[in-house]
Amino acid sequence: MALFDLRAEHQLDVMQPNQSLNGLFARLLTGVDAMLERVQPDCVLVHGDTTTAAAAALAAFHRRIRVGHVEAGLRSGDIHSPYPEEMNRRLVDSMSTWLFAPTPAARDAALNEGVSGRVWVTGNTVIDALVATVAKLDSDAALERSLAERYVWLDARRKLLLITGHRRENFGDGFRNICAALQDLAQRDDVQIVYPVHLNPNVRDVVQNALGGQANVHLIAPVDYIDFVWLMRRAYLILTDSGGVQEEAPSLGKPVLVLRDVTERPEAIAAGTVCLVGTSRERIVTEASRLLDDSAIYAGFCRSANPYGDGHACSRIVDALCERPFTQFHS
C-alpha cells in the first residue's frame, strides 16, 4: 500500500495461523459490520474474489448499503476451481449495484446469470497498478539500482523462471507435482528458478522440503509488489496459479504457464498469452521446455496483445459511479 501512498484507516486484525475459511469469514463479517456501523458509508467497493470481498459485500448488503464490485463477471464455470474464489465472485456479483467487468466476456457472463446490477466494461485495475509501477521503476534510477543490488545473485547468463503458487485446490498432490516438475527443470544448465514462497504452511512446507537446497532454485520470502514487477520484467517465463499474474505478465511481454486445470480468465488463452498446464509434472516440464527451446513459439506468446486493460480502469469506474459519460474498454 505504501507504494501507492495509501494508508489503512481501519484494521480488522482477523488473520490467524492455519485458519479455516468459515472462521475467517465469520470474523470478517463481524469486523466489517462494526466498521460500517461507525463509518456509515454511502456505498462499499470490493475487489476481486477473496473471502474478504465476499464477507464485506454481504455485510454491506445486510445493512442495505449499495455494493460496487471491481473485477466482476470472471467465471471458470466450476464452483470448485478456483476454490473458494469462484463462488465468492458469484456471490458478490449477485449483491452488487455496480459491476465493473474487465472484459466484454466477463460482462456477458454476469448478464447471463441475470444479475440485478448494472454492468460496465472497464478493463482491470491490476493493469493500472502495473502501469504506474513500471513508470515508477523507469523514472527512478536509484530505486532501480537498489532492486538490482537486492537481487545481485541473479545470473544474467541463465533464463529466469519466476514461480508463484498459493491456490487451495493445489494443496497436497498438486504442489508436490509442481515441485517435482521444478526439480526436473532445475537440471537444465540454462535456467535459474526464483520462487517467492507463500507463507501458508500447506505451500511453504511442501516447497521447502522438495526444493530447499536444490541447485539453480532460489526460494525467497514473499516480496513487495514493486519487487515482483521488477522480477517479472526480468523473467524469461512465469509459472503461476495466480489470477492477477495471468493479466500482468502479458503487459510485460512474458509468457505464462498457468498451474491450474481451469481459469476464470479465458481471454488470455484465446489471445495466446497464457497456456493452461494444470499440475501434471510431465505437462509442466513439456510446455516449459518448448518455450525455453523454441524461439518461434516463445515469440508468438510475447507478441500477443493483453485483453485485460489499458491502464485507465480506475478512471472509468469513477466515471460510472459519478454517472459521467463513459467509454467502455474493448479488449
Which of 75, 89, 107, 166 is flagged as catalytic?
166
Cβ count near 263 (within 10 Å): 21
Which of 85, 86, 93, 169 is flagged as catalytic?
85
Q: Is 330 a catalytic residue?
A: no
Which of 168, 260, 265, 316 is flagged as catalytic?
168
For β-strands 98-101 and 118-121, DSSP reports them as parallel
Q: Is 71 a catalytic residue?
A: yes
Residue listed under C-alpha cell 456479483: 93
Q: Is 168 a catalytic residue?
A: yes
Q: What is the 3-state secondary structure (H, E, C) of the chain?
A: CHHHCCCCCCCCCCCCCCCCHHHHHHHHHHHHHHHHHHHCCCEEEEECCCHHHHHHHHHHHHCCCEEEEECCCCCCCECCECCCHHHHHHHHHHHCCEEEECCHHHHHHHHHCCCCCEEEECCCHHHHHHHHHHHHHHHCHHHHHHHHHHCCCCCCCCEEEEEECCCHHHCCHHHHHHHHHHHHHCCCCCEEEEEECCCCHHHHHHHHHHHCCCCCEEEECCCCHHHHHHHHHHCCEEEECCHHHHHHHHHCCCCEEECCCCCCCHHHHHHCCEEECCCCHHHHHHHHHHHHHCHHHHHHHHHCCCCCCCCCHHHHHHHHHCCCCCCCCCC
Measuring CA to CA, which residue among 116, 87, 114, 118 is closest to residue 101?
Answer: 118
Q: Is 198 a catalytic residue?
A: yes
Q: Is 145 a catalytic residue?
A: no
Which of 66, 158, 188, 198 is flagged as catalytic?
198
Which of 71, 128, 241, 247 is flagged as catalytic?
71
All cell numbers assigned to 91: 456471490
Per the document, the length of the chain is: 331
Which of 49, 86, 169, 287 is flagged as catalytic?
49
Q: Is 166 a catalytic residue?
A: yes
Measuring CA to CA, which residue among 317, 3, 308, 1 is closest to residue 127?
Answer: 308
CA distance 326 to 317: 9
Catalytic residue numbers read 49, 71, 85, 166, 168, 198
